[in-house]
Amino acid sequence: MFVSWKSIQSHARGAVLSLIALSLLCFSGAASAQFAKGADVSWITQMEASGYRWSNDNGTQQDLLQILKDHGIDSIRLRVWVNPSGGWSGRNDVIAKAVRARNAGFRIMIDFHYSDSWADPGKQTKPAAWRTHTFEQLMSDVYWHTYDTMNALAANNVFPEWVQVGNETNNGMLWEDGRASVNMRNFAWLVNSGYDAVKAISPSSKVIVHISNAYDNALFRWMFDGLRSNGGKWDIIGMSLYPEPSNWQTLNNQALTNMRDMRSRYGKDVMIVEVGMTVDQATTSRSFLADLISKTRSAGGQGVFYWEPQAYNWMGYTKGAWNTNGRPTVALDAFLEGGQASGMTIQENSTGFCGVDGTVDSNNSGYTGTGFANTDNANGTSVRWRVNVATSGAYTFQWRFANGTTGDRPGSLRVNGATSGPTVALNPTGAWTTWTNSGSVTATLNAGANNLSLVATNTGGLANVDSLTVTGNGVSATACN
């Protein structure tokens, strides 16, 4: 026996009605169709309280939100827990972060978990305070928790552009009552309780129902067919995608097909609200993100959000986009969509490549550009480059290389003749045709032109060097002297 969410709503207290009217008057941000590039940074306050700080690409410490903005991010997503131990992601913490992001000019997404802690496909645990409640009470709980949180945000003049009712609700929420595979109608009614509460405070906010595995069209059809046939209400279908470096192309293609199907099947917008990839394959992650952003645009999707990119050495989470030296990885550059490259790659036989003690070869396939630098197999042999930077500061250097031997062929970076930073390992890659990126080293460049060299420190000479990438603001290759 169920009562409808409508009757739950009819309990609305007169005292709050004037607040609703006030918030309607204050509402100014008409929903924008502009493609959103976002980051969920819900951990930011807890990390800062633990002493975390972040640096930009040049190693200068800055506010995290500024660094994200400088990488093309324009939207911030924040999760809400009902009564979390410690208070992080509880209402006050969420309001503080939302106000800070709003003041910094970001668009806002609020993500209700309807739990005291993580809600995801594997767990949708009721908040302790709701555990003994009837289903009718749970609908009321969802309504008033959503309403009160939205109202508190509104009191701070924050009207989120998007609100998620539930997080990764692949099988519903507030288990067991709202377990979708057992009772889809219950889940639909809980969703509608949240939907109505959002709209009561902020009619222009778009309500998102979010499930994971963006590539799994059968899952999405099952869920949204089920919600539709039970009168469920939503504005946007939200998706997560966390591929491996080995399968992202396949999953991105499947996600594209799924996004198109969702839009045509239900006539609703779609959005990628969470993505991530292992932090130690940042170059691959950048390719994955760039491709996903472009595919989401082409499917008419509303945006792509990276989940907790600022996490490094934190809570055991390994899918952030930050180096342990405090700087973002190159993965974050994908959000620039090529617009403001913060570094450059120098190939052999192009400006900025100044020669090799050996030859430029093309005998081993898989290199990029026209070939690679093959040093003579002797200690002290080198490859040389020359770059120009606008301002003196720290820059990051990384080489693409192949090493078909069984031993390291390391090199040492010299900047204007002086050894700079630790020796760069160029370890075996398995074959001369298997290319990979070295670790990154950081060194200071002078304003103006700088001579760079990578010098072999072993008798074997260097590994074969395909290209050098220099990351930092205002880098350009310049003619050799």
DSSP label at 31?
P
Using CB under 6 A as the binding rule, whether residue 457 contacts ligand GCU is answered as no
Look up 274 and say whether it is catalytic: yes
Stretch that binds ligand GCU, among 81-89, 146-154, 271-279, 361-369 (CB under 6 A): 361-369
Contacts with Ca ion, 374-393, as mask; x by CB under 5 A: x-------------------
Cα–Cα distance, 312 to 318 (Å, whole number): 7
Contact 401, 465 (CB under 8 A): yes
Using CB under 6 A as the binding rule, whether residue 364 contacts ligand GCU is answered as yes
Q: Which long-range contacts (CB under 8 A, 24 or more apart) does 94-98 make?
A: 94/149, 94/153, 95/152, 95/153, 95/156, 95/158, 96/45, 97/41, 97/42, 97/44, 97/45, 98/153, 98/156, 98/158, 98/160
Instruction: Annotate 60-108 with three-state secondary structure.
Output: CEECHHHHHHHCCCCEEEEEECCCCCCCCCCHHHHHHHHHHHHHCCCEE
Binding residue for Ca ion, selected from 55, 193, 347, 440, defined by CB under 5 A: 347
Using CB under 6 A as the binding rule, whether residue 48 contacts ligand GCU is answered as no
Strand ranges, E, within 228-280: 236-241, 269-275
Q: Is 265 helix (H, G, I), strand (E, B) or coil?
A: helix
Nearer to ligand GCU, 148 or 361 (CB): 361
Nearer to Ca ion, 303 or 371 (CB): 371
- Residue 273: both structure tokens together: 């609200």
Using CB under 6 A as the binding rule, whether residue 359 contacts ligand GCU is answered as no
369 interface partner picked from Ca ion, ligand GCU, none, CB below 5 to 8 A per type = Ca ion
Instruction: Write down the least CB distance from residue 371 to Ca ion, Å.
Output: 6
Using CB under 6 A as the binding rule, whether residue 367 contacts ligand GCU is answered as no
Contacts with Ca ion, 412-431, as mask; x by CB under 5 A: --------------------
Contacts with ligand GCU, 372-411, as mask; x by CB under 6 A: --x--x---------------------------x------
Which of 231, 226, 221, 329 lies closest to 285 in space, CA to CA?
329
For residue 218, the tally of other CB atoms under 10 A from its CB is 9
List residues near Ca ion by CB under 5 A: 347, 367-369, 372, 374, 461, 466-467
Give catalytic residue positions: 168, 274
List residues near ligand GCU by CB under 6 A: 361, 363-364, 374, 377, 405, 432, 461, 464
